[in-house]
Structure 1
Amino acid sequence: MTEKTDIKKIAAEIFDGAGGMDNVESVVHCMTRVRMSVRDDTKVNKEKLKAIPGVLGVVDDEQLQVIVGPGKVNKVAQEMVSMAGVNLGETIPVHEQHGKEKVEALAAQNKAAQKAKQKSTPMKRFLKDISNIFVPMIPAFVGSGLIAGVVAVMTNMVTAGYLDGDTWNQLIMVLSIIKNGMFSYLAIYTGVNAAQVFGATPTVGGIIGAVILLTGMNPDQPIKNLFTGEALSANQGGILGVIFAVWLLAQLEKRLHHVVPDSIDIIVTPTISILLIGLAEIYFIMPLAGFISDNMVGGINWVLNVGGAFSGFVLGALFLPMVMLGLHQILTPIHVQMITETGSTLLLPILAMAGGGQVGAAIALWVRLRKDRELSDMIKGALPVGILGIGEPLIYGVTLPLGKPFITACIGGGIGGAVIGLIGGVGAIAIGPSGLPLIFLIANHKWWGYVLGLLAAYLGGFIFTYFFGIPKDRLAAIQNTNAAASESPVPATPLKTNAEESLYAVTTGQAKDLTESIDPVFSQKMMGDGYFIVAASGDIYAPVFGTVASIFPTKHAIGFLSDKGVEVMLHMGVDTVKLNGEPFTIQVKEGDKVTPETLVATVNLTALKEANKANEMLVIVTNMESIKTISSFHSKEVSPNEELLKISL
């Protein structure tokens, strides 16, 4: 099978596993995952998706995420949108629905929207939007960042006299042109992606991003800052200013589409949108950032006057927020003035510690969340770049979208800055990227002080993130994914052959054959044979005479090993792994001996109903390869401890 045919097959099977093309609202991708917004979660067959050759795993969060790995994910996602006749991120149209089908689809959409509304918060939505804007840019960040790091090392070595400028400057210039294709126009790329996230026209979003570059402004007659009267400077307002402006663009476009006649919409809407938002960006957003910057300069000067470790901590901790607002540009004249007057800038090495804090935080995330494949892949790609002093991949792709790690990374930067401030006299003879390349520019042989500060920033970012900055939801997601992927919570063990074992009813209710379960994984007996009870009581008892072998972290499933070697899983409810254990109270612990009269758990059936989860208590034999036969029964009312099935070993 050719690669093209393989990609087509994977794309088609992903649509099938996601409930069909009509059930997929939109498709995007990141470094390793095809990300889909689905219309009805109940139509998604995750096990079917996991079984697709080439699929490495499935995560069902706010988006359905199918992991196919870097290098292939972009091809699969593109093939999927090509099959649907749309572009990445665009809504896939649904075929005409009638009657009951239309009502059910509308109900499913309303239910999903209400569910998302209940769980979402403004901060979570903001961080999710930031992630969706910058994650697609990670490959470009990494590639351009590595080139930028090489350029930084070579430039600094030329400046310090370790390399001959006549020999190396031409190569440095060529490499700089290549890497500037990303970093010089980052505002434009951000505008395009932000428009896709917020629902605006992508190319118009790119124009709004380009506005802050002030292309074409006459330096002799600059645009004035309305707040201070000073001249505006390119990139004032920074990336966050672009994101805010594009968000305003999306709101304006949506309103214009409603009021402007279709016949002239393509002319009127983009013209008015670009004009109004562009003016707001130039005369409000950028000047506001300039106003903030002027006051920030006063604060920086005060901190510098205080001096010592305190100054180093404050400056090292606050530099990353300044970068995000585009305010770091105001420090350039300060660096130049320091170098002119004293031969070096004491400020640059301190500010460079912010990148060190990011590196330490990323390493801590990698250690604690190493089973999160996508995050690990991002960190592996962004770390070398971050060590070389290019911080955007780590900021926008890793720490900022996760929230707390960004704060702990800033603290790490502050610790590194405090060390350099305490040592004192650590300056750079020229302005350049931070990270390791800056070592070559440290004046007066105090490179050792810079290295100590960098190591302190690494360590500070790592420690604070490791203990205080790991998002709890990411840890829970890993536990849930591991639990869902496990085919059996009990270890394999030899059976006692030529014997019989019994399975007992675990609660009061209607006992049914496993094939009647609403969960396709269980009803198709993918994990094994058994039975389930539609529970009328929340008291749950052991299904066998044996031992508690394992308890899932989310409490929704318990593994047992019978005295005769049968491995049995008790699964409480359907799709209840997402409830993070809230409706369940476990009454036993691993290693406990149990009988069918042992109360092993209590389930809040009301909570299950409110969460729209079926109250099926499923009992499944998971080592079927060693089982000869399992008896059958007709649906009936049962009570706890009642024998239901006979097993021949």
Structure 2
Amino acid sequence: MSHKELGIKILELVGGEDNVQSVIHCMTRLRFNLRDNKKVKRSELENLDGVMGTNISGSQFQIIIGNDVPKVYKEIIHNSKLSEDSNGEKTGSKNVISAIFDVISGVFTPILPAIAGAGMIKGILAILSTFGWLDAASQTYIILNAIGDGAFYFLPILLAVSAARKFGSNPYIAATIAAAILHPTLTELFNAGEPVSFIGLPVIAAVYSSTVIPIILAIWIASYVETFVDKFTHSSLKLIVVPTLTILFVVPVTLMTVGPLGVILGDYLSSGLGFLFEDYGFIAMVLLAGTFSLIIMTGMHYALVPIMINNLTVKGIDYLMPAMFLANMGQAGAAFAVFLKSRNKKFKSLSLTVSITALMGITEPAMYGVNVRLKKPFVGALLGAAVGGLYYAITGVAAYILGGSAGLPGVTSFIGPTFVHALIGLAVAFIAATIISYLLGFEDVPSENQDETTPEETVEKTVAATITDTQLDTDCVLVSPLKGEVVELSEVSDPTFSSEVMGEGIAVRPVDGKVVSPVNGVVTTLFRTKHAIGITSEEGAEILIHVGIDTVQLDGKYFEALIEQGDRVTAGQPLLEVDLEGIKKEGFDTVTPVIITNTTSFSKVNQTDKTSVSHGDVLLKLEA
């Protein structure tokens, strides 16, 4: 569907426009603050073409779209009365932790494009300088450095505007507060080393450029001050009185209290993380890399962005960002493993696409659209990232600048003494996740398109999960499970069987409806529709008996199972009673393939030379 159709449908399934308090978007997700999450039709949302998954973080309902999220968001806004600005209305009670994460997410999400763009410019500049292609003393370098560094130096202003929207206050008053504490006169005054006071009260000297915590605390206070002043001010004076009193009160309070407090908190936080990684880096990096995808799922990674910025500002290096890179490589590798192994053409294509997207640093489509959906690949992604974390821990990899993204375009973040090891570690995480996810396997996604995946291919996928390539050392003899005419597989009308893609074997066109076990063994698969049975013999042969062609469509009609999955059976023991005449009247072919799905475990599969067989006659001989 088009972006417009998708946007309208999403709005309908989240409970309608009246259920939406506000909506914003990040790189890949629509983030709804809803009045009632119970009104969301989540399963219908996840089945929409263009929606890769959903997630709830705190009270925020998130819909993963991928790279097209800005277009879908634009259509939602255009086709509704919703505003691009949050109205600051409360969404209900939250615990303190959820509230903090919600604030950080709401504040940082809108400014990420600016940070990403500026970070990419700084990365490119670092490459040009490192390879000697641009002199650091040249005017060109100085201008480019200002372009890349501007967003970080004046970060408090960007954060002030975003925080004001989150807290429901005036963003321009907030920007004025941030501009005041960044004013070069104040910076010069603080750097002079002399005691500073304001109306006789001491002001603690601090540098606020590139800081995060002080301005968020300041605008949080400002939101309450602005509301309080506005409440007691006559409407004719609001334009002048409210901004004047808010700025006059908040800026000095920031300089004397919350500003220095925020700087001190940032310093302690950076020092604490430095101690953790310097003294326990081996364990810390492995655990953080291996669990970072879980952090991303909760939305807590936004809480780490200000810490990363603070680390680079205070210490000049950061260890959190490398862990995020490894987590993204792990998700990319796991999705790539699904691409290699899936037999669903549409899902295979999706897996490759989201794997590439994850390599670029946008990991949610791969995580929610493929890996979490299949479960085991997600485990493979976590383990692969942990393996990469082990390599980073051994080699001491750190980030030195804030690049554009935690993906291949952002590897400029690693430009420094450990750059080569950083690149090797990313490859290690990707390859490890691919191998682990491939070996773990997964239950493939059946196609909803009948033209792409026939019922017989669905059976094939289920049986394929049990196929092994282990070479067996014991011969195996199969007696005929049916009485009837022997038919070569090549003559069976279904190409799934006739092409021997599932393995070698033979078919029988039955003359009665009694189906018996061809071997001594265990019933490993009994399909819900009872038209097919998987048996593993005592010798290790894996056998599929598929009664009729396309009979899965009968949904169990005309089939009666005499055993259950997991039962031990002996050769000649009845398995099914089948109404052959009823199947024929429905227009289905009753020819029954008997397939050795682990054909490669045997050196040779010998077929009977009889043209017809009865129960107990030798049908196949398998040579070890």
TM-score between both structures, scaled by the size of structure 1 = 0.47
Rg comparison, structure with higher value: 2
TM-score between both structures, scaled by the size of structure 2 = 0.49
